[in-house]
Amino acid sequence: MTFEPISTSRIPAPGAPFQGGPRLLADVGGTNARFALETAPGQIAHINVLACAAYASLADALRAYLALPEVAAVSGSGIRHGAIAIANPVNGDLVRMTNHHWQFSIEALRTECGFDVLEVVNDFTALASSLPFLSDAQKRQVGGGEAQAGAPIGLIGAGTGLGVSGLIPGKDGRWTALLSEGGHVSFSPVNALEVAVLEHAWTEFDHVSAERFMSGVGIELIYRGLCKYRGVQAEKIAVPVIVSRALADECALCAETVEAFCCMLGTVAGNLGVTLGALGGIYIGGGIVPRLGNRFDTSGFRARFEQKGRFSSYLSRIPTYVITAEYPAFVGVAAILAEKLASK
């Protein structure tokens, strides 16, 4: 696990345009690449979402965004500084995506696209870096608990994969963002139903991580395992159908699948809470949970989160929040870029 310090003092209030011109911000996942320009401190505009599958490389997608007329009109002679959050470990210069075929050299990408400074970080490091700046309107609390000021904060998020990170407080308002791959810890079942689902997963995978279940394809895996457990023939349906049928109460097995997903996520979140001592709260990002809406809030997530035996009372003090901000990673990656430029 590596550590990336950020400082809340490095995020200036919105003001005049940057002296070096607009800054490129990107949030690259396994499915979509989101781009934006930060035209002045705290002012993020020209957001555009491109499908990763439509481009042979990240450089191609980046050039396509920069060539958009509205972006080119603002960027003028070019973008000098940029920062990319990517759903992948970032260790050294070469980045190979886990959930997509893109791979690239950070330095080669910087040179190819004409940046003076190009910072590339894990997407959940960027998302974690945004947490101190989220307003009450950009998050929704699920269950009880109250955040303790100056305490560690945990972050998980299920989407194409399962992201895990956190913030550790330091001196002078600084936080240390954790670059973690905690989504790949071994899955831990807590009841007979989850044991049966895990046993089914073992017929498909040698190692079953938390991410195998806490992701889009993971919901499909839970569904197949539940069908086997219930002695029902599984339909060949993808996660959007499973979720839509569950939310509409059209399929009992789909509803049970979503409920199992929420409970399993509660276990993972609770594990993170006790691991980090995250009395500052656990935040939930990613694309899946926000789409579940009230079904998630009324699920067994929070009860499972607190289900830790002797440590149940400890976890009951930790608040859990669903991140509702549309593009929070941009806020975090902007903070990281500001810190990088301020140190030069």
pLDDT digits (tens, 9 = 90+) for 247-285: 999 999 999 999 999 999 999 999 999 999 999 999 999
* Annotated binding-site residue numbers: 26-31
pLDDT digits (tens, 9 = 90+) for 180-238: 889 999 999 999 999 999 999 999 999 999 999 999 999 999 999 999 999 999 999 99
Q: What is the DSSP letter of 109?
A: H
Does 4 have pLDDT greater than 50? no
CA nearest 265: which of 227, 210, 186? 210
Does 55 have pLDDT greater than 80? yes
What structural domains and CATH numbers belong to the chain?
2-129+327-342 (3.30.420.40), 138-324 (3.40.367.20)
Q: Tell me the residue ranges of DSSP E strands in 52-110.
A: 81-86, 94-96, 103-105
pLDDT mean across residues, the chain = 91
> What are 270's two structure tokens?
């609770």
pLDDT digits (tens, 9 = 90+) for 163-179: 899 999 988 778 888 87
pLDDT digits (tens, 9 = 90+) for 120-154: 998 888 999 999 888 899 999 999 999 999 999 99
* Annotated binding-site residue numbers for ATP: 26-31
To 10 degrees, the CA torsion angle through 65, 66, 69, 71? 100
Q: Tell me, what's the pLDDT at 180? A: 85
